[in-house]
């Protein structure tokens, strides 16, 4: 089965889509497991309360 890749546009970094949520750092600033979000056919929702716990990771994000 082919690997799907995510490309971080500002940085140009790429990583396998199945690596999302495994660790935090760089262009994947916080780990988000499947229990932390809900997904529909056309969107992913991450609760504000979850993200607000990691505000410092996004404070100086460019």
pLDDT at 36: 86
pLDDT at 31: 74
Supply the pLDDT for residue 56: 81
Q: Are 24 and 31 in contact (CB under 8 A)?
A: yes
Q: Residue 31: which of 14, 46, 9, 43 has the closest Cα?
A: 46
How high is the pLDDT of residue 1?
Answer: 55
The per-residue pLDDT for 26 is 61
DSSP state of 30: S
Residue 49 belongs to what H/E stretch?
Answer: helix 48-52
The ranges of the chain with pLDDT < 70 are 1-3, 6-12, 20-29, 60-62
**Predicted pLDDT at 21:** 65
Model pLDDT, residue 32: 78
């Amino acid at each position: 089965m082919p690997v799907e890749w995510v490309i971080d546009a500002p940085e140009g970094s790429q990583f396998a889509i199945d690596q999302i949520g495994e660790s935090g750092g760089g262009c994947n600033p916080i780990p988000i497991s499947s229990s932390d979000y809900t997904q529909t056919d056309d969107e992913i929702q991450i609760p504000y309360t979850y993200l607000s716990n990691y505000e410092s990771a996004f404070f100086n994000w460019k």
